[in-house]
Structure 1
Amino acid sequence: MADQNLLDVVIIGYGPVGQSLSILLGERGYDVAVFDRWPALYPLPRAVFHDHEIRRVFHAMGIGEDVESISQPSATYQWFNADWKTLVEIDWSAESISDGPVGYLFNQPSLEALLDRKAKSLPNVSVNQGWEAVELRQLPDCCEVVLKQGRMTDGTWLTTGETRTVRARYVVGADGANSFVRRSLGVTFEDLGFQEDWLVIDLKPNEGVKLDVPDIGQWCNPARPTTMVPGGPGYRRWEFMRLPHETLEDLQKPEKVWELLSPWVGPDRATLVRYAVYTFRSLIAETWRKSRVLLAGDAAHQMPPFMGQGMCSGLRDTWNLAWRLDLVLKGIASADLLDGYTPERRPQVRAVIDASIAMGKVVCISDPQEAAQRDEAYLSGQVPALPPFPGLTDGLIRADQNSAIGGIGGQLCVHGQVRNDGEVMRYDDAMPNGFHVIALDADPDLYLDEQARKVLALIGAQTIGITHDESRVAAGRVLFDVSGKYEAFFNEHGAKALIVRPDYYVFGAVGSLTELSGLVGMLAAGLALKAGHGAGQDCLASAQA
């Protein structure tokens, strides 16, 4: 069966990454179809952490308050040696640049249920579960995806024999580590060298049970490196590294699971939710785009879990892709805009993987002598502090302000509470998502020339002032900076105005408002803007012939 209509985007994979991209594109009005091999959502926990940046993305999808109801703010992330002496502390409970704590813990099935409900509520998003992609073809003006239907029978996926073909202007592979889309493109993974087997256990303590365990921590004990974290409200997770003498089969016996948990909890005090052995890897695809097909999430990268950034990185992919596809599908920008996706996302993810590997090497030491040397280095202060979270270092940022050289371009922009016309709210709730021109203590509209205004109107940009000076407030035009965070951010970077992208990263800044129109011109040059709106009609006509 061949579907005759030409979709805007087909997404292969319906985990959190595919779900989120379908929402972000669906809410922008695009015709999206998402397909997943499995007939139902995966019911067991996997990811447990999202950070402050991803919290903003959830709010942008309209599910922020729902996600907060199934999450809990993180405590300080602590790393202990075998004697429970603190080696490292990362304060994930501290105030972040995005307003609120750095991190949050959640239960993935609960999150996926929220994302699923939101995606299926959008009339232009078609969710198709139980359909496996088996063939992908790129034509001059669109893509064709051949799918076959299947169902679960006695725990095995079996095809029903029904097939269908769908056509779309773009295809995104969000189909996980064994991605069919990536393999179809012939894209290879670069192996960054980390590989360890860990037993992951999720359980639910019985009502009223309080466990004597660090809230969120790594026990860097060479006898058994161990991770202990919340699994979202009401859940706990342990992860145990496989030791050199153990087999995978050894770790997956129920009696072994309870033996490992016995210092903290027994079967009389908690119920096992699931346990499984995972191989933590460090892999990154060589490219994330080939013409009309793009990769996102685990299809493009995999990393050790020690920074909690696996799912977060996948959601950053979708957040980056959504605004690019928006401008391309509207015909405002040429497809060249998509060329910036890999150069932006890959270096940032590579830096996160490298940091995760470095942290993993601290944890995954099973030799007592090596562990003693590590402990001495950390306890004596010989180890430098962790570097700040990486920004963007390529792509659509002002080149001479690149975050790689300490500039503001590519840094995540500040977010906080503002007051507008007497009402205090999140800045993101006060202003619709998109490109933002923000000026300190002034209305930026007063400093834009006609050409800059045309560019900003074309891309749907917002212009707004923000101030911590009550005398400069103007309802709807210059908002009051409730916490003073914006004023501090601008002053730190010597900025009087800046342009923020739809994914909350700073394009660039100016030190004088008279330079603002020039900054808009730089943005326009980087956006590959074009006249008119493409429609893909040639592909549709040939498909119907």
Structure 2
Amino acid sequence: MAAGIHGARGRLARSKVNIMADQNILDVVIIGYGPVGQSLSILLGERGYSVAVYDRWPSLYPLPRAVFHDHEIRRVFHAMGIGKEVEALSQPSATYQWFNADWKTLVEIDWSSESISDGPVGYLFNQPSLEALLDSKAKSIPTISVNQGWEAVDLRECDDYCEVTLRRGAMKENVWIPTGETRTVKARYVVGADGANSFVRKSLGITFEDLGFQEDWLVIDLKPNEGVQLDVPDIGQWCNPERPTTMVPGGPGYRRWEFMRLPRETREEMQQPEKVWQLLSPWVGPDQATLVRYALYTFRSLLAEQWRKGRVVIAGDAAHQMPPFMGQGMCSGLRDAWNLAWRFDLILKGIASPALLDGYTPERKPQVRAVIDASIAMGKVVCISDPEEAALRDSAYLSGNVPPLPPFPGITDGLIHADQNPAHGGLAGQLSVHGRVQNAGETMRYDEAVPNGFHVIALDADPDQYLDDAARALLVQIGAQTIGITRDQSRLVADRVLYDVSGKYQAFFEEHRARVLIVRPDYYVYGACAAYEDISAMLATLASGLQRRDGITDTLNQHGEVAA
């Protein structure tokens, strides 16, 4: 499908601004090359921005860590152009089950059910395979420079850019040794995606708030031998006070167990090979599988007080750490990258002022806090080692006296229509619907049919006909897309009003009594209109919230380009 007039004009604007850029200063330097740094580099590099990524380690980490991503993150992978490849290295989740010591079901969370994003709620994957895919994608983009084996040692912010000093290192007998080589790079912005011990966070003097959860768990990944079938729940928590245990797939062909360390056990004891096989013995033996790795982790709940200072921001584990019971650690980091990507895009185009980054912390921090709180609540259910307390828990769950988990949190602050804040029951800040559409007889994903960006989506109509001149100018300026969705064959217009194949869009609009949605590039709803005639007024509110550069509308010439 054609990009549409608004999308085409947006790309012209970006192209001209990039030509104007100082070639001696990069657009963005990213410190850290895990999934968050990899993904952000791809999201920016594919938009044409100059990005350099630096990571202390000379090669990718070869062992598993995260094993779960949800439907929203699958949409992000599709936006990066690797959706089909990620599908090949992951598997849809089954129902997530919690059992008591006697294997009675306490909780079931159906991660296999249909999600708002068109597909199951969750997926299991092998992180080294995912990182290898992201690495290949990043290194294929000409505007991205990937530098492995470089440690950031100094960070300085100037008026118009930042300077990062790095030193090179190499591995000798499993120890990182500096080579003596250093370099300094300049960038308009710096992102610290450098993990829990983040140099960037520490250099900014940002402290963590401890939300109060801390437990040691032994994490074991193994690969069953060919033909071996293990008699274990597909994905579950065994809430046994004698030994709380997690069992999940580790992606196609892999399995993971996690065992809580009990008070009587030492950290050293838990990491002995004989202890590992002893813990695994009820389910699998050394003649049935190969150990991939095992390590003792301290599950924490930490939240950085600030996520941005000037031209520097932090993301991923540098900004937050959480217990794994919701599978949201990596997912939350990728949401950070996804949130930053469209903000940097508008700022680096010259359309928005740097103040657009002010919305990053107010949007991301409350959502992550809510996810951490839910993860802690789940962890407190799982991590009970006292038999009497466990019996009370079991009784409460088995009798149905425990309320269900709250819905996944959306965005409650930042760039959303204030009158429709979800705290007051509004649609703004919720994840928007995604499904399959048909255009000119061809069926495809909506995000394959319509280029990424701000979207104005109308039910049963082409929203273009309801726009005033100011709204049209705004949409041209920000490279937005306007599209109609319908279940009425008589209303179809090629490239303008698409057929709602599954009925997901019609159901979503009707549930929320909306005729029009304004959707952000990260798929969150900015706001909804109950009447087509209200679109321009809502877009005027969006315009005021975008922190556009002073006078930018006067620089748009008749071709929609940004004037020099």
Q: Calculate the TM-score normalised by the size of structure 1.
A: 0.97
What is the CA distance between 1:10 and its match in structure 2?
Answer: 0.1
Unmatched tracts of structure 1, length 5 or more = 534-545
The whole-number CA distance in structure 1 between the counterparts of 2:351 and 2:409 is 30
For 2:289, give the aligned amino acid: A
What is the CA distance between 1:77 and its match in structure 2?
Answer: 0.1
The whole-number CA distance in structure 2 between the counterparts of 1:492 and 1:27 is 35
Matched, 1:502 2:491: no
Matched, 1:154 2:173: yes
- Matching residue of 1:394: 413
Q: Which deviations, in whole Å up to 9, do the C-alpha atoms of 1:438-482 show, x marking residues without a partner?
A: 000000000000110000000000000000111111111000000
Aligned length: 531
The whole-number CA distance in structure 2 between the counterparts of 1:105 and 1:204 is 15
The whole-number CA distance in structure 1 between the counterparts of 2:200 and 2:112 is 38
For 1:316, give the aligned amino acid: R
- Matching residue of 2:499: 480
- Matching residue of 1:438: 457
The whole-number CA distance in structure 2 between the counterparts of 1:507 and 1:182 is 30
- Matching residue of 1:539: none
- Matching residue of 1:85: 104
Matched, 1:99 2:118: yes
- Matching residue of 1:47: 66
Matched, 1:405 2:424: yes
The whole-number CA distance in structure 1 between the counterparts of 2:168 and 2:369 is 36
- Matching residue of 1:421: 440
The within-5 A match list for 1:281-320 is: 281-320=300-339
- Matching residue of 1:204: 223
Matched, 1:372 2:391: yes
The whole-number CA distance in structure 2 between the counterparts of 1:134 and 1:72 is 40
- Matching residue of 2:349: 330
SS in 2 for 1:504: coil
Q: Which deviations, in whole Å up to 9, do the C-alpha atoms of 1:51-81 show, x marking residues without a partner?
A: 0000000010011000000000000000000
For 1:479, give the aligned amino acid: L
- Matching residue of 2:213: 194
Matched, 1:249 2:261: no
Within the candidate set 276, 280, 293, 1:261 is matched to: 280
The within-5 A match list for 1:439-458 is: 439-458=458-477
The whole-number CA distance in structure 2 between the counterparts of 1:511 and 1:270 is 58
Q: Which deviations, in whole Å up to 9, do the C-alpha atoms of 1:408-462 show, x marking residues without a partner?
A: 0000000000000100000000000000000000000000001100000000000
- Matching residue of 1:275: 294
The within-5 A match list for 1:212-231 is: 212-231=231-250
SS in 2 for 1:515: helix
The whole-number CA distance in structure 2 between the counterparts of 1:81 and 1:181 is 43
Q: Which deviations, in whole Å up to 9, do the C-alpha atoms of 1:137-168 show, x marking residues without a partner?
A: 01111000000000000000000000000000
Q: Which deviations, in whole Å up to 9, do the C-alpha atoms of 1:214-272 show, x marking residues without a partner?
A: 00000000000000000000000000000011000010000000000000000000000
What is the CA distance between 1:100 and its match in structure 2?
Answer: 0.2
For 1:516, give the aligned amino acid: I
SS in 1 for 2:222: strand
The whole-number CA distance in structure 1 between the counterparts of 2:488 and 2:326 is 39
The whole-number CA distance in structure 2 between the counterparts of 1:208 and 1:401 is 54
What is the CA distance between 1:39 and its match in structure 2?
Answer: 0.1
Q: Calculate the TM-score normalised by the size of structure 2.
A: 0.94
What is the CA distance between 1:403 and its match in structure 2?
Answer: 1.2
SS in 2 for 1:79: strand
What is the CA distance between 1:513 and its match in structure 2?
Answer: 0.5
- Matching residue of 1:143: 162
- Matching residue of 1:519: 538
Q: Sequence identity of aligned pairs in percent?
A: 80
- Matching residue of 1:541: none
SS in 2 for 1:5: coil
Q: Which deviations, in whole Å up to 9, do the C-alpha atoms of 1:351-386 show, x marking residues without a partner?
A: 000000000000000000000000000000110000
What is the CA distance between 1:532 and its match in structure 2?
Answer: 4.6
The whole-number CA distance in structure 2 between the counterparts of 1:470 and 1:305 is 46
The whole-number CA distance in structure 2 between the counterparts of 1:237 and 1:401 is 42
Q: Which deviations, in whole Å up to 9, do the C-alpha atoms of 1:465-521 show, x marking residues without a partner?
A: 000111111111000000111001011111010100000000001101011100110
- Matching residue of 2:75: 56
- Matching residue of 1:66: 85
What is the CA distance between 1:4 and its match in structure 2?
Answer: 8.3
The whole-number CA distance in structure 2 between the counterparts of 1:145 and 1:94 is 46
- Matching residue of 2:508: 489
SS in 1 for 2:540: helix
- Matching residue of 1:174: 193
The whole-number CA distance in structure 2 between the counterparts of 1:171 and 1:217 is 39
SS in 2 for 1:424: strand
For 2:128, give the aligned amino acid: P
Matched, 1:381 2:391: no
The whole-number CA distance in structure 1 between the counterparts of 2:389 and 2:341 is 46
What is the CA distance between 1:405 and its match in structure 2?
Answer: 1.7
Unmatched tracts of structure 2, length 5 or more = 1-21, 554-564
Within the candidate set 142, 163, 168, 2:182 is matched to: 163
SS in 1 for 2:253: coil
Within the candidate set 369, 373, 382, 1:350 is matched to: 369
SS in 1 for 2:177: strand
- Matching residue of 1:542: none
Q: Which deviations, in whole Å up to 9, do the C-alpha atoms of 1:95-125 show, x marking residues without a partner?
A: 0000000000000000000000000000010
Matched, 1:17 2:36: yes
- Matching residue of 1:537: none
